[in-house]
Every structure is written in C-alpha cells, then in structure tokens.
Amino acid sequence: MSPRTPEQFEEIRESRREQIMETALKVFASEGYANSSISKLAEAAGISKGLMYNYFNSKEELLKEILEKGMKEILNLTDPDRDGIITPSELDEFIRKTFRIMRRKQEFWILYFNIILQPKVRESLKGTSVLTGTEEYFSMLMKYFESNGFEDPVLEVLTITSMIEGLGVLMLYAYPVMTIPETVLLKFEERVLKMIKQPEHE
Amino acid sequence: MSPRTPEQFEEIRESRREQIMETALKVFASEGYANSSISKLAEAAGISKGLMYNYFNSKEELLKEILEKGMKEILNLTDPDRDGIITPSELDEFIRKTFRIMRRKQEFWILYFNIILQPKVRESLKGTSVLTGTEEYFSMLMKYFESNGFEDPVLEVLTITSMIEGLGVLMLYAYPVMTIPETVLLKFEERVLKMIKQPEHE
Amino acid sequence: MSPRTPEQFEEIRESRREQIMETALKVFASEGYANSSISKLAEAAGISKGLMYNYFNSKEELLKEILEKGMKEILNLTDPDRDGIITPSELDEFIRKTFRIMRRKQEFWILYFNIILQPKVRESLKGTSVLTGTEEYFSMLMKYFESNGFEDPVLEVLTITSMIEGLGVLMLYAYPVMTIPETVLLKFEERVLKMIKQPEHE
Amino acid sequence: MSPRTPEQFEEIRESRREQIMETALKVFASEGYANSSISKLAEAAGISKGLMYNYFNSKEELLKEILEKGMKEILNLTDPDRDGIITPSELDEFIRKTFRIMRRKQEFWILYFNIILQPKVRESLKGTSVLTGTEEYFSMLMKYFESNGFEDPVLEVLTITSMIEGLGVLMLYAYPVMTIPETVLLKFEERVLKMIKQPEHE
DNA sequence: AATGAATGAGCTTTCATTCAT
DNA sequence: TATGAATGAAAGCTCATTCAT
C-alpha cells in the first residue's frame, strides 16, 4: 500500500467532479435549476452537502461548469478540428452529428433552454463558453453559406437552426398526442439535409 | 360618500387582476418564474405584497392563470370558430397568424417554454388548457395533413411545428451575432408556407 | 314610515352586537381564538370585515366582551341578588345552577379555559370581570364554608370546584371511550351535593 | 481535527432535540401554542430559526412530539408494566402517582388542555399516543371499577377523573385569591383515595 | 477529504387593521 | 351604515453557504 501520488489524487478528484456534474444535470433537468437544492444534489451524488463545496465554490459555478462542459462536447463533436470552418464535404456529417447530439443529450438541452431563456440569468453567463459556443455554432454555418454562394445566408442559417432547435424543443416535451417515431426522425433529418443542398427550390 | 356599488368593486377587481397578470408576465419572462418573488411582482404592479393574495391564492395560481389566458388568446386567434378543423383555404392564414403571435407575444413564449421544459412543473399543469391547448394545436395540424392525402402526416407536422417553435426559440435569445431582420422573417414564413403546399419535392 | 328614533337605532345596534358575539363565540370555541380570523368571524356573522370594526375596536376587545358577558350571565344566575353571600338554604340551588350552566354553555367554557390557561393572555384580562368574576365565585364559596363551621374551608372549596371544573373539562372533550350519560351526570351532581353537607365523613 | 463520528453526531442531535422540546414546552405553556412563534422558540432554545427545522419538520410536528413524549412519561409512571390493568393493591399508588405528576408537570398540562380543548386541533392528533394515551388511562380505571363490583363504574371514573382534572385546572391558574397550600393538597389526595374505597357511603 | 450542525437572508403566505367610497 | 380594497408586520419555512470537528 504505497501512498497515493498527487496524480492519483488529482484523478480521483476529477472523477468525483464528473460524477457530481452528471447527477446534478439529471436533477436540474427534471426539477429545474431553482428547485434543485444543494441537499438534493448532494444526495443524488451520494455525498454530503459540505463536500459539494469542496468541489464547486457555489451552486452557480456548478451550473456553469455543467453547461460549459456540455457545450464543449458538442463543439468537439461537430467541429473536431476547432477551426470554425465547415467545408461542403463536411456539412452533411455536421448536420447528422448535431441531430445525434440532440437525441443523446436531452437532459443537457432541457437545462440549456431553461437557462438561456431567462435573460437575467443568461447575462451571468456572458463570456463563458456557453454563449460563445452558441455563437461559434451559428457563425460556422453563416460562413459556410456565405462562402458557398447562397443568396440569403441568414435565411439559410435560420432555416437550419430553427429546424434543429425546434426539433429539440419538441422532443423535450414529447406529448402523448404525438410521440415522434425513429423513422420519422430519420426522414426529418434527410429533409433538412436536402434543404441545404437545394436552395434552388426557391 | 355613498358606498361603492358591487359593480364598482367588480370593475376594480377586474382591472387590478389584469394589471397584475400583465406585469407579472413581464417579470416572469425576464427573471424566470422561480426568481420572481411575490415582492418583485407586487412592486412591478405597484401594489403591496399582501394585496397580491387578495387577487390570487398563490404564486402558482397566478402562473396558471397567466398561461391559460395566453393560450386561450392564441387558440382564439388561430382557430376562431374553435371547431378544431383547418380547411386548405384556411391553412395559409393559420400559419401566418401563428407567426404573428410568435412575434407579438414573445414574453408569453419565454414563460411558456420555461415552464413546459420542467417536467415536474409541467405535471402540475395537467388538465389545464395550457397543455390541452398545445395538444389541440398539434391535433389540428395532424387532421389537416391526414385528410389531405399527405404521405407522412407526422413528418409534415414535425416539419411545420419545429420550424415555428425553432423560430420562436431563436427569436427569444436574439443573439448579437445574428439578429433576424424583418425581411428574412417574412421570407422564412413564405418558405414554411411553400413547404406545406409542395411536399411533392420529396 | 316615520324615521327611526335614536332609541330604535340603539336597539338595532345592540342586537347586531349580540349576534356578532354569539357567532364569534361559536367560531372561537371550535377553531381556537388565534385561528379565528376577522374574516371568518365576519362571514359567520353575515357582515363585512369593515363593519366588524364599527362594533368592536379590535379582535381582542371582541374577545373580552364575549368573556365578560358570559361571566356576567353566570354570576347573575348563581348569585341573583349579587350580594356575594350564599345562605345554607341557597347552597343546593347554587350548585345545581352551576351544573346547569356547565351543561348549557359548553362553547363558553371551551373558550374560557383556553384563554385562562395562557398566562400571558390572562394578564391582559386583569381588571375585567372575567377574572374578578371567577374570584367572586370562589370567594362566595369560601365565605360560606368559613361561616358555617367547616374545619378546612379551603379543602371544601377545592373539592367542590375541582369536581365542577373537572366535570367541565371532561364534558368538553367527550371521549368515545366514555361518553357521560345524563343519569350519571345527575348522580354525580347529587354526590357533590351530599359531600358539601356531610363533611363529617372525615 | 478528525471529523466527528456518526455517534458524536447522534449525540448532538439527541441533546439538541431534547433541549428544544424542553424550552418549547415552557414557551407553549406560557404564551399559548399559537402565540409561540418559531422565532420565540428558537430564541428560547438559544439557536437560530433555521436550525429548528433541522430537528423538526414543522411547528406542528414539534407540538406532537412534545405531547407524545409527555404522555408516554405519564403512562410509564402510572402503568409501568403497560398491561393496562390496575389491581386493588396498586390503586392507591396509581392515584398518588397521578397527583404527583399533576404537580410536577404543570407546563405539560397547560399545553395539553389548551390543545385538547380546540376541536379542530384535536382532530389532527387522532391516532397519536396523545389521544390513545388518554383513552388508555380512562379505560384502566373503568376496568378496575367494573371488575371490582362497583355499582356504577362510569360514575366512579367520573368522580375520580373530574377531581384529578379539576385539581389540575385549578392549579394551572393559581389565583391570588386562593393558592392551594401543600397540606390541603395532601388532604385532598386522601379524600380522593377514601372515596374510591368507600363508595358504600351512597 | 468529509460530515452535517448551524446560520441568516429571503421566500410565500396570513391577517388585524385602515380607509376611500 | 356598510363594503371590500389596500397595507404592512410578522408568521412558517427553505436553502445556499459556512464551519467546527
């Protein structure tokens, strides 16, 4: 039993942080940020209230880190080389990946929309990668449409993103009236892809 | 000097209620429901905390009434005869009205999405016209596409509503990076309308 | 239709006051003084909150008047000539009347005990006939036993009054385990009476 | 420096709970339940308002626990083997113990009568040992008189309990007019005892 | 590193009382 | 005389955060 090295400590610490963030995201998404007390979060993570503050300085910091981490993952997936540029050959994959993330990270989206829709709260996120990440995403699309000769790039970005975000919102409150079958989701994705390539339908 | 008549009291009550609901909607939308304390709401309405409870039994009831009123207004506009049926000749106007409402009632939509995205809160709205109203809206579109020979009605509903709701969400967080010009909004609307009529592009 | 005379006005006022006091007593007894809001009391009396203050300056004054009135009625019944003296020939009737009142004015007793058992509240009643009335009652009995050669007057007063008040309390929370039949009540009364006359059983 | 053990925490909790319950009983008894705000109770216990809720979920729960604890102590003393049965040889001691408790636990009795006399409040105590304890007490006496050949057991129970409870009430509002000397109390106790054994005086 | 006792600010809500009409 | 809208103080309660151990 040799004593743990500093690296090992750091590793343990990091995995604890991740575990807390994961369980906290679940609670935030289902109860809402304001209704998720530190007690609840600690219990969900299986640790004590006090220890929470060993890992995060405040509830707000915890929230920010969760949002930043999620946003980073998304950008890493959609723009792996982080050059902020999409080439025509990458576009298809870009859209497909976005849809895949929408489906996989539902909890993150619920939280994201909740926070982003509260102007006063959103302000406190200024400068964090949560907002810059979103801007980056839009900006990548803008550049693509601009540099590929589309007549009205803003309209194209709006079309794409509204369909993506709209789908996100719809999936988030899956009404009994209309649960979306997987096959329809795939067709919907294709429809979006086609739209990008054939703006000449106008 | 003579005491107020019941009619006068009724008048006072009605106008106060409206005033409270209007100012509360603004506060809810900008601060978030949970961050909008009764104190804040009362101050925004220019009255005392205590008086709030003369008009609404609880903060939750106030929320519900605001949501129900907003939803009712929307349905009244989009489906004036309340028969739940859209004819082909009505469809265009239906979509246009929806967009108009999206633009006009931004505060309502912010609140609506915030609430609807919190599963625990949403449950408390079961049975209210907030949820049934949404279902009704979807159902009207479903019936339209079903009875007008569209190959995959769910896909059509999904396309339309995701574009509408997506636009809603995008407008709600009008980023500096991309504020949507009025002209683009109108083109976007036309694009949605065209999409409904020409699903043969598949 | 001749206009009402001042006397008639006074009469109407007085009967209103009585009505308010009667209904308030019922509410106080069943809900407790603190849980009986002015709103409840006004509704029970069939008038508006504001009008309550036309008849009573405060909730506390209303309480005091109810207690004083009740106490006065009791003393009027048990000591009609108000000379504070019981003769041997009057004693029987005195006790019997006390029991009769216990049975008839249960609501009053509930309220009385509730108030009297709260030292801080009781202090605010100092000087009112509620406290002096009780003292007067005890004092009458003391004088009787003193001037009729009883060995230990305090013991006699204690015996009598504890049986009376004990019965009062017991009747007030009529347990399912032991509801007191009328016949037993009468026998109990007789037993009390006998005890007064035959202290020689010691 | 080493963190507290679970045992230490348990110890802290237990002693704090007791401390709170003890001071709360005093305040309840002198101010009345409704007038005893959590602030007052916390101040009396020398702790913060918030901490009260670490130990009791609500003011009502605190009340219940105080009442239940008191009732349990009483039954433990009067019926140590908890068989619900009094033998003739035990009766004397049973009564004496009851009187001793009346004298020692005055604060408890004040609170008890206050609560029990409010029908609405009493209902919330249904099923708790506060009510069942009282029933048990009556029931023990009933069984005793029934199985020992007394002509009218209810009358006997009524006599005993009214004297006991009556004394209780009287002691609770120790009037200046008539404070009860210890010697009289003892004589009174003897009188009650004699009465049980010689119902043939009828 | 880890616990949960402890605090205090702020929340929702109630209610005696006042007041314009 | 009569109403109920309006106020403000104080109630019960929650919770992010701190701290002794």
- Check pLDDT > 90 for residue A202: no
Mean pLDDT, residues D68-86? 87
Query: What is the pLDDT at residue A3?
Result: 60
Per-domain residue ranges of chain B: 1-56, 63-201
Find chain A residues with C-beta within 8 A of B202's C-beta. Answer: 191
Of the pLDDT bands very low, low, confident and very high (cuts 50, 70, 90), residue B171 is: confident
Query: What is the pLDDT at residue B10?
Result: 94
Q: What is the overall mean pLDDT for chain A?
A: 88
- Check pLDDT > 90 for residue B156: yes
Burial status of residue D114 (CB atoms within 10 A of its CB: 0-12, 13-18, 19 or more): buried
Percent of chain D predicted with pLDDT > 70:
94
Query: What is the pLDDT at residue D160?
Result: 93
Query: What is the pLDDT at residue B144?
Result: 92
**Distance in angstroms: CA B50, C1' E18:** 14
Measure the CA angle with vertex C133, ends D28 and D120; round to 5°: 40
Phi, psi (degrees; rounded to nearest 5) at C124: -70, -10
| Residue A29: CB atoms within 10 Å | 22
Query: What is the pLDDT at residue D175?
Result: 41
- Check pLDDT > 80 for residue D202: no
- Check pLDDT > 80 for residue A179: no
C-alpha–C-alpha distance, residues B42 and B20, integer Å: 8
Chain A residue with minimal CA distance to B28?
A118
Backbone dihedral region for residue D173 (phi beyond 0: left; psi -120 to 50: alpha; all else: beta): beta
Query: What is the pLDDT at residue C4?
Result: 65
Measure the CA angle with vertex A64, ends A58 and A68; round to 5°: 150
Query: Is the CB of C114 less than 8 angstroms away from the CB of D117?
Result: yes
Chain B residue with minimal CA distance to A175?
B135
Convert the pLDDT of each residue in D115-141 to its tens digit.
Answer: 988 888 888 898 899 989 888 888 999
Chain B residue with minimal CA distance to A170?
B162
Q: What is the overall mean pLDDT for chain D?
A: 89
**Distance in angstroms: CA C22, C1' E18:** 25
Query: What is the pLDDT at residue B198?
Result: 61
CATH number of D59-201: 1.10.357.10
Query: What is the pLDDT at residue B202?
Result: 44
Cα dihedral value D143, D144, D149, D152, nearest 10: -70
Mean pLDDT, residues A75-104? 87
Q: Is the CB of B48 under 7 A from strand F?
A: yes
Of the pLDDT bands very low, low, confident and very high (cuts 50, 70, 90), residue D96 is: very high
Query: What is the pLDDT at residue B177?
Result: 44
Query: What is the pLDDT at residue C202?
Result: 43
Query: What is the pLDDT at residue A20?
Result: 98
- Check pLDDT > 60 for residue B200: no
Mean pLDDT, residues D142-163? 92
Instruction: Tokens for A145, please give them.
Output: 């449409």
User: Which one of 1.10.357, 3.90.1200, 1.10.10, 1.10.3470 gives the CATH number of domain A63-201?
Assistant: 1.10.357
Find chain A residues with C-beta within 8 A of B29's C-beta. Answer: 119
- B partners (3+ CB pairs within 8 A) are A
Find chain C residues with C-beta within 8 A of D31's C-beta. Answer: 118-120
Query: What is the pLDDT at residue A181?
Result: 83
Query: What is the pLDDT at residue D1?
Result: 56
Instruction: Tokens for D180, please give them.
Output: 């009860």
Query: Is the CB of B167 less than 8 angstroms away from the CB of A162?
Result: yes
Phi, psi (degrees; rounded to nearest 5) at B82: 50, 35
Query: What is the pLDDT at residue C124?
Result: 86
The second-level CATH assignment, the architecture, of D1-56 is: Orthogonal Bundle (1.10)
Residue D54 near residue D19 (C-beta atoms within 8 A): no
Within 13 Å and on the Cβ side, how many CA atoms surround C60? 6
Instruction: For residue B116, give the amino acid letter.
Output: I
Query: What is the pLDDT at residue A71?
Result: 93
Query: What is the pLDDT at residue D201?
Result: 45
Query: Is the CB of D188 less than 8 angstroms away from the CB of C33?
Result: no
**Distance in angstroms: CA C43, C1' F10:** 24
**Regarding predicted confidence, which is higher, B45 or A78?**
B45
Query: What is the pLDDT at residue A83?
Result: 82
Query: What is the pLDDT at residue A198?
Result: 62
- Check pLDDT > 90 for residue D41: yes
Of the pLDDT bands very low, low, confident and very high (cuts 50, 70, 90), residue B194 is: confident
Convert the pLDDT of each residue in A31-67 to its tens digit.
Answer: 999 999 999 999 999 999 999 999 999 999 999 999 9
C-alpha–C-alpha distance, residues B8 and B19, integer Å: 17
Query: What is the pLDDT at residue D176?
Result: 43
Query: Is the CB of C114 less than 8 angstroms away from the CB of D114?
Result: yes
For residue B4, the distance in angstroms to the closest alpha carbon of chain A comes to 42
- Check pLDDT > 60 for residue B201: no
CATH number of C64-201: 1.10.357.10
Of the pLDDT bands very low, low, confident and very high (cuts 50, 70, 90), residue A199 is: low
Find chain D residues with C-beta within 8 A of C113's C-beta. Answer: 113, 117, 169
Convert the pLDDT of each residue in D175-199 to its tens digit.
Answer: 444 567 889 989 999 999 988 776 5
Query: Average pLDDT for consecutive 10-residue bins of chain C (202 residues)?
Result: 70 93 96 95 97 97 96 88 85 90 88 88 87 89 92 92 91 63 90 76 44
Among B158, B173, B184, the residue with its CB nearest the CB of A170 is: B158
Mean pLDDT, residues A103-117? 89
- Check pLDDT > 90 for residue B33: yes
**Distance in angstroms: CA B47, C1' F7:** 9
C-alpha–C-alpha distance, residues C21 and C62, integer Å: 7
